[in-house]
Every structure is written in C-alpha cells, then in structure tokens.
Structure 1
Amino acid sequence: MGSAAEDAARGRGVARELVYGNTALVAGLLVGNGPEAWIAFDREVRRLQRFPGVSTGRLEARLCHPDGRIRAKALAAWRNPPAELVLIRCADWAPQVRERARRVLGRVLAHHPVRTRDRARRALNRPVADDPALVLAALTPLTLRLGGREHGGWAVDQLEAALAGRYSSLAAWWRPGLPSTTWSWNSLTPGQRAGMLERLGRSTDLPTRRFAARVALAAGRYGAQELALRAAAEPDPAAGRLWTDAALAAMAADGPDDAVVDALLASRFPPVRAAGVTALRRAGRAAEAERFLADRAGSVRACARWLLRQDGGDPYARYRALLADPERVSGYAVAGFTEVAGPDDVPVLRGLLEHRDGTVRAAALAGLRRFGAEVADPVLLALLEGPSASAAREAALHLMPVARRLDAAALAARTGREWRPHTRRAAFRLLQGRGGSAELRASVALLDHPDPGTRRCARQRVAGWNWLATLDEGAAAQAELGGLLARAADLLGALELRLAHAPGDLPGRAPRP
C-alpha cells in the first residue's frame, strides 16, 4: 500500500484501462492498494462514462455507471463483482441502489477471496466463508472512509455490530461447518473478534488503528496494565491518547498501580510520558518528578514542574542545581531552565556558551534569543564554524537580523566544500538574509553543491531571481551579472531558468526599444 495520492492515481489508471477495453481483472490490478484506490476508481469510471460513446459491458463499469438504474441492475446480477465496489454502492446517493447493495452484500462477501501479493500467503486466496474476520479486516479501511459520506454510516454500524457479536449484514452469510453457499447468521466467535481487533490495531492505516482502539475500549477488554502497555507502544498520537486516557480512568477506578505508571513513563511518546508524570502524584511518587525536569519534550517538563510545585518543591532551584553540575547538565535541562528563568538569568546562559556539549551551547543560545540578549558577532561566528550543527543553526538565527552588517565575502567563503555541511548551510542562510548580489553569487556557486538540500535551495533562488533588480547595484555588479547568468543557464537550462524580464535587459544584450 502506497500513499493516498499514489493509491488514488492507481485507481484512476485502472479505471481508464477498464473503460477503454482492457479485459484484465480489476480486483487483481488493485491488489495491495488502499481504500483511496477503490474510491478513485469508482469516481473515474463514472466520469469517463459520462462522455458520449464511452461505455462498456463490464460488470465493474456498470456498478460505477452515472445512471442509477444501471447500477441497480448490475447489483441484481448473480455474478460476483469485487466486494469493495458493492460496499461503495452501500453508501450510494440513490436509495434503490444502496438498499439493493445492502441486501446483496452478504452474498458477495461469501464468495469474496482475500487477495494478496505476498506469495507466502497464497493459501489465503480462497473464499473466506471459513474466516470471515479476515475479509472484514481487509474491508475496514474502505468502510471507514465511506463513513464520512451522507449514507456511509450504515457500513460502519454493521462493522461495529460484527465486532460486538451482534447481528450484522457484513457477517450474515457465515456459519461454521456449513458450505459457503449457505446463507445464515451466526456472530463471530470471541476468538475471531479478538483476532480481528488485534489485526486492525496493527494496521498501518491510521483511521483503522483508531477505530480498533475505540471498539476495543468500548468492549472493556483490557485491564489497566494492558491499557498502559498499549498506550506506551502506540505510534499514532490519536490512538495513543485513547489508550492513555483509558489507562488513567482505570487507575482512577481501581486505585494507583505502579506497573501502570512505570509503563506510561517508559513510553517514547511525549503525551503518554506526560500522563505518566501526572499520575505520579496519585501513586504517591511525586518525588520522582525531578528526573523529568530535563525531559526532551516540553510538555513532559511542564508536567514535572507542576508536580514538583504541588509537592512543595522549587523547579527553578532544581534547574540551577542541574546547570551547576557539569556531569548532569544537558541541552534539555537548559531548555527547561529557560522556561522558568527571566532576564536576570542571562549571565547564567552566557556562561554556557563555552560548554563542551553542542546541545548545551545551542539551548543556551536559544534562551538568550528568547530574552532578546545580544551576543557578540565573533562569538556567534565561532559557533557557526564549530562542530555542533544545532549550535550553528542557533547562531545563524541570532545573526539573521543583522546579516547585512556581516562580511559577505567571509560568509561566501564559508559555503566552500572544505567546511562542514551545517556551516555551509548556515552561511548560505545568512547570505540569503543579506539579499542582493551577495546572495546571487552564493546561490550560483552552490547550484552544483553535493548537499541535496543546499543545492535545491540554491536552484530555487536562482530560478526565480529578479535579474533586473540586481542591475541597480552599480557598474561592478553589471559587469559580473553576465557571467553569473551564463553559469546559471549552463547548470539549470533555459527551461528551469525562468527569466522574469526580457533578455534584452541583461548585460551584453541590446536594450529593448
């Protein structure tokens, strides 16, 4: 499955192949693509069939036809089209089409194979009457996308009902031990529902993960510790928030649980860690808040400071102690200190500009910039040339407002290949801040730079350059401009070099009459 845009492009391409006479199986061509592929396929087939003389007898094309009567007749055929298209028709704007689609959906699902590109899973390419959870899981992303339509809520309701063990048209065709041609009803077994939720919860489709989390939480399937572990492991912030809130609610109902708190604190996701820090108070472990004062996430640091104050502590004093200890100070500790410090603490931050750790120097620079404190140009230029990329970025931000007073030749020299990449990038940003011919010279010089980001930025600047404005800088700039333009044309080409003014206005050309 690719991105949504790639899937949609794939769906439109398959639609054109279908309408213009390709006889390949549509479902086979869309294997491995996301729900956007099927939605785009439906829309493109309908659009193409609006043109005079464009029509096809293929069942898939008739299911997507602009005329609702043709769509309804296609649903009445006994042949089994892709279940995805029938599911889309269940949200059709025409009542007779969607009602018929909802009646025949069970029959279509009974003969719907689970298709996959994975050769190791060829055994799954069979009717799913013996494994309904598999096909329902495969259709869930499309079902959730359709849920946003005016009549799309029906399929989502049916999916939730199937997962809850209630009657559902999505599973009304299945019963263990009976042939796949037997239409009957039996709810999914608890094991099947649990397996399906686990499968949906591991999906790479974010709406599907969130749906699975909501359904699992509504069913009350997990205890507080399991909820905390899932919150800590969940990479999606929205789903992680659901698991975290549920874990906190379970602790509020059952009482503090150290294992739950520890699981939340161990998460690498800031919102989950922040919830764990807040939970320390109810667990009687407020003293542990100090070790989160230097957390990498600002939200976690803020929760730690709040908890420390609730416990009678002083975050400012703790931060000063951290900064005074060379072995414990870190860039995040400095960042936390600036969040509680004031202008009177500028000397403390200045003293950290010579620290051996580049992240500490960068955080100190960020704090000084926050308080509007000036730093001498030689100090900033030295940091620009230093080994720390983060410190160089902060130094460039300090120098940007005063870039015009810097030596353009010295900055241009720092864009040479003998300098570190972060130094070259910072110097180029400062030359961009200067503007004029200094920026143009540096941009042209960097058109073939080995660093992709620098090269891309230089090409964008040169491609949109206002060459006439540069002529106003004097005779020296005019004599140089022709050479710069020639080099830019050689490296970019005439098509990419979009000249905003006629060539007659440039040096070496006759002026326009």
Structure 2
Amino acid sequence: MDVGSGGAAAGRLAHGAAVGDVLDVEDPEAWLALDQGVRADGWYYPPDVTPRWEQARGGRALTAALRGSEPLGAPLLVLALCHRDGRIRERALTEADRHPVVLPLVVVRCADWVGPVRDRARARLAQDIDEGTAVALAPLALRIGRRHRGAFAVDLIGDVLRRAPRERLLPLFAHTDRAVRRFAYRIAVEERRLSPVELARTAARDEDIVVRNLCAEAALAAVAPDAYEDVLEPLLVARDPRARSVGVTALRRAGRPERAERFLADRSALVRACARYVVRQAGGDPSAWYRERCAEAGDPAVPPAAVIGLAECGERADAELLWPLTAHPVAAVRARAVAGLRALDVTDVPRLAALLDDPAPGVVREVTQALTPSARALDVERLTRGLDPGRPRHVRVSAFRLLSAHDGLVRLRAAVALLDDPDEKVRHWARQSVQRWRPTADVPPGTAEVGELLDRGRHLFSAYVLARRKWEAGLSA
C-alpha cells in the first residue's frame, strides 16, 4: 500500500468501514501508508477550511466524538491516531486499549514528533505489550526504529522477547523480511535460545549473509570440545563461502587439520585461504600440494581451483606449471591457468594472444583481461577480423575491448564496425564508444576517414554535436 492508497483507506474508514476490511492489519507497510495517507489527503489546510474526509459522515462523527465524552469506534480511533493535530492523537491514545487492532499505530506514535503524544504512546505500549504482541509488532517496530526517536519500541520488544521462550521466536526466524530475521537471531544468540547444531544449520541454509555469519560464529563459540563434529559438518558443506571458511578454520581447534587439505581446491578464494592457514599451522605445505596436482597438464582430473590456488600462494617460477594448463581439455582449467599467470604477473603477449580464439568465453575473458595493459602491442588487423559478425560473441567482445584500449582511429573504427552488431549489448557499447570519441594527437587534423566514420554514426548525434565533433577533427561540417 502506498500513500495514495492510505488516503483512500482513510476515506473508507471515515465512512464507517471496518479496519480489517480496509487494510491488511498484519502488513507493517499498510499501517505506515495509512498513517501518511490520512495526513496527506487534504490535511494541510487553513483554519477556516475543512479537509475532505472531515466533510464525510464519519469525519463529522469523529469531530463530534472528540469534542464530547463518548468513546470512539475502531475506524474513527484509527483516524484520530493519525490526525494532523497532536492534541487529537494524544486524546485518541487514551482509548487505544479498548481496540487492540490499533496497537500498531501506538507503535508508530512512540516515535511521534510531539513530546506528550510520544510519552503517552510509550506508556501505553509498555502497559499493553506481551510476548504475542511483541512478535506481531516486531516487523513494524523495526521499520519505525529507523526514524529519529524510533528506538523505544524496538528496545521494548527486544526486552520482552529476550524473556520469552524460544518457541515465540520461531515465526520471526522464518520471516520474509531479513531485518526481522536478523533481529530474532541476534536475540537468540545473546540469550542462547538455539543449540550450536541449530546455529550451524542456520548458517548453512539461511539466505541472508548477516544471519549466516552471526550463526556460524555463534555456533563455534558455544560448542563443547566433544561436540565439534556435529557442528562442523553443516558448516563444511554449506553453500555460503563464509560459513565454509568458518568451519574450515575451526578444524584446527577441533584437532582435525588434515581435513582442511581437501578445501585447498575449494571454489571460493576465502575458503582456500583459510584451508592454507590450517594446513600450514599443522606443518603442511599448501604450495607443494598445488604443484603436485598441476604437474600433469593432461590429467582431466586437475581441479580448476587448484590451478588458481597455486598462483595465490606460489612463486613466479610456478608459471612453468601453468603454461601447459592453458591447453588443458577442460575450459575451467584453461581459464584458471590464464588467471593464475596474470596473478603471478607473468605476461607473454604472443602466447596469450594465441588463446583469443579459444571456444570457451571464460578463457577468452581471462586472456582479454591479461592482455589489456599490452593491447597496443597486439596485431590490430587480427583483432579487427575478430569483429566480424560471423565470429562468436565472446570473440567480438574481446576484440572490441582490446581495440578500445587504443587511441584515435583504431578505437573509432572498432566502435563503428559494431554499430549494427547482432547483439543488443554489443551495439549499445559500440554506440557509447562512438559518442564519447574525441580525436587524439595521433589523428592528423582533416583526416577524411574520421568524417566518413562519424557520418556512419550520425544518428547518434544531434546536428550541432556532429558538426562540433568534425570541427574538433579539423573537418568542415
């Protein structure tokens, strides 16, 4: 629900509609939209002008009820709690305990900008809150907590939930809002409401990285020495690299450093680094382990991560093991070998350039990244042939990137050649390159080819800008 919908909901409430029929009472955003919508729908008006909803039957009833002593019904009480006049909001809070459905608006008023309203709302919430309402109001309170003076409701609900049994927290653990899950798991960790095994399983499966990190570290901090195995297993098989890295690091404290060896070839660089630390602390040599696996260039079982792992902890001399792997039958191994050579700062331009026609996009991408600093040493004619529409997309993109590293005409020719490329993204990049092109010192003023190339891309410029570009290149419009 947005502010406009909140204003429409206020109109229906003013005409006597039930609160549950107007908005989803379990949706925090619905209450916030209503609170804003009531004030936005004609509320800011001169003293002699009556807002639209107050002209309605329900609005007149609200005005009369506020002037008298009769209790308000739930629909009018909702409107009064959102009223622009702080005295009316304060008056409405005295009746909030009669209609529990309006308790979310009491939470909103706990951050009210009017001191007396804020104080009365806080006193009312402290009086009415229990474990069940704390769970129900937590999502809304966390949103209000982002506001100035909004921490009261969050702190109050946190105090209630810290005293509650763990069963009360279960709905919050499964909440779709990650802020709510973080809030609940922080309480669970602080109050030790979950066992180390439960924390480890959460770290292995939760979608939110903050929850995963919190639970992984808490699981290891709370586990007894004789129960490490049960906690480590969920962490070591977790999809999240951070959770796996915590589990791998804990292998040393658990007295199982030998298990870290198999994580030396993990797909995550963080996990590999943790595994190397554990192996070294146990007296092992990760570099020797990597060299052994990379020594057989024709072995189809070479783990791709072992190749980059060697570069992460090896020496420049290890490049001799990586070069043969650039011809490995597995594309992932070839790509990691090129990435490893770049990490070791070993660049043999002719040998790497031969890999630009590799059928695997990942390999060509790594080669392109390695060659970009040396792009001007490459054969321009060969790269230009790579722009042909009949070449694979990854080859065209690589050629364009390397030619774009040049200045002057080379860059402009490459961009214009791809203006009609079959791939939409490539066309977009080419068009941007043409629009950003400026003549450099290596382009002689008055070069006719510049005018011809700019004319092929004239649809990318206004008449003025095109004339300006030609003037910059020493050409007449």
TM-score, length-scaled by structure 2: 0.78
Please tell me whether residue 279 in structure 1 is matched to residue 270 in structure 2.
no
- Distance apart, 1:343 and its partner CA: 1.8
CA deviations 1:316-341 (Å, max 9, x no partner) are 11111111242442221111111111
Name the structure 1 match of 2:197: 225
Q: 2:2 aligned to 4, 11, 14, which one?
A: 11
CA deviations 1:15-72 (Å, max 9, x no partner) are 5767999989898787599857765775687678557679454767765566533543
- Distance apart, 1:427 and its partner CA: 1.8
- Distance apart, 1:293 and its partner CA: 0.5
Please tell me whether residue 157 in structure 1 is matched to residue 155 in structure 2.
yes
AA in 2 matched with 1:278: T
CA deviations 1:419-458 (Å, max 9, x no partner) are 2222222222222222433333433443454434334433
> Structure 1's 109 and 222: CA in aligned 2 closer, same or farther, altered over 3 A?
closer
Name the structure 2 match of 1:173: none
Structure 1 CA distance for aligned equivalents of residues 50 and 265 of structure 2:
66
CA contact (8 A) 2:24 2:30 kept: no
CA contact (8 A) 2:415 2:434 kept: yes
Name the structure 2 match of 1:171: none
Within 5 A, what are the aligned runs for 1:376-387?
Answer: 376-377=349-350, 379-387=351-359
Structure 2 CA distance for aligned equivalents of residues 287 and 106 of structure 1:
55
Please tell me whether residue 333 in structure 1 is matched to residue 314 in structure 2.
no
- Distance apart, 1:478 and its partner CA: 3.4
Secondary structure in 2 matching 1:384 = coil
AA in 2 matched with 1:97: V
Structure 1 CA distance for aligned equivalents of residues 137 and 434 of structure 2:
49
Structure 2 CA distance for aligned equivalents of residues 29 and 439 of structure 1:
61
Secondary structure in 2 matching 1:221 = coil
Q: 2:331 aligned to 325, 337, 358, which one?
A: 358
Structure 2 CA distance for aligned equivalents of residues 467 and 36 of structure 1:
54
Within 5 A, what are the aligned runs for 1:73-472?
Answer: 73=91, 75=93, 84-103=104-123, 133=132, 137=135, 139-165=137-163, 190=165, 194=167, 196-251=168-223, 253-325=224-296, 326-377=299-350, 379-466=351-438
Aligned residues: 446
> Structure 1's 137 and 385: CA in aligned 2 closer, same or farther, altered over 3 A?
farther
> Structure 1's 108 and 464: CA in aligned 2 closer, same or farther, altered over 3 A?
farther
Name the structure 2 match of 1:5: none
- Distance apart, 1:411 and its partner CA: 2.6
Single out whichever of 457-466 and 141-150 deviates more from structure 2: 457-466
CA contact (8 A) 1:358 1:391 kept: yes
Secondary structure in 2 matching 1:145 = helix
Secondary structure in 2 matching 1:255 = helix
Secondary structure in 2 matching 1:319 = helix
Name the structure 2 match of 1:114: none
Structure 1 residue runs without a partner (length 5+): 1-9, 111-131, 167-189
> Structure 1's 376 and 509: CA in aligned 2 closer, same or farther, altered over 3 A?
closer
Structure 1 CA distance for aligned equivalents of residues 24 and 398 of structure 2:
46
Structure 1 CA distance for aligned equivalents of residues 368 and 423 of structure 2:
18
AA in 1 matched with 2:116: Q
Single out whichever of 22-31 and 211-220 deviates more from structure 2: 22-31
Instruction: Quote the sequence identity (%).
Output: 40
CA contact (8 A) 2:413 2:453 kept: no
- Distance apart, 1:387 and its partner CA: 1.8
> Structure 1's 31 and 414: CA in aligned 2 closer, same or farther, altered over 3 A?
farther
Secondary structure in 2 matching 1:383 = coil
> Structure 1's 36 and 368: CA in aligned 2 closer, same or farther, altered over 3 A?
farther
Structure 2 CA distance for aligned equivalents of residues 162 and 278 of structure 1:
36
CA contact (8 A) 1:19 1:61 kept: yes
Structure 2 CA distance for aligned equivalents of residues 451 and 285 of structure 1:
52
CA contact (8 A) 1:90 1:102 kept: yes
> Structure 1's 459 and 140: CA in aligned 2 closer, same or farther, altered over 3 A?
farther
CA deviations 1:289-340 (Å, max 9, x no partner) are 1101111111211121111122221111111111124244222111111111
- Structure having the larger proportion of residues in helix: 2
Secondary structure in 1 matching 2:354 = helix
> Structure 1's 383 and 54: CA in aligned 2 closer, same or farther, altered over 3 A?
farther
Structure 2 CA distance for aligned equivalents of residues 423 and 156 of structure 1:
55
Structure 2 CA distance for aligned equivalents of residues 45 and 319 of structure 1:
67
CA contact (8 A) 1:432 1:439 kept: yes
CA contact (8 A) 1:49 1:55 kept: yes
Single out whichever of 227-236 and 402-411 deviates more from structure 2: 402-411
Structure 1 CA distance for aligned equivalents of residues 39 and 466 of structure 2:
42
CA contact (8 A) 1:11 1:30 kept: no
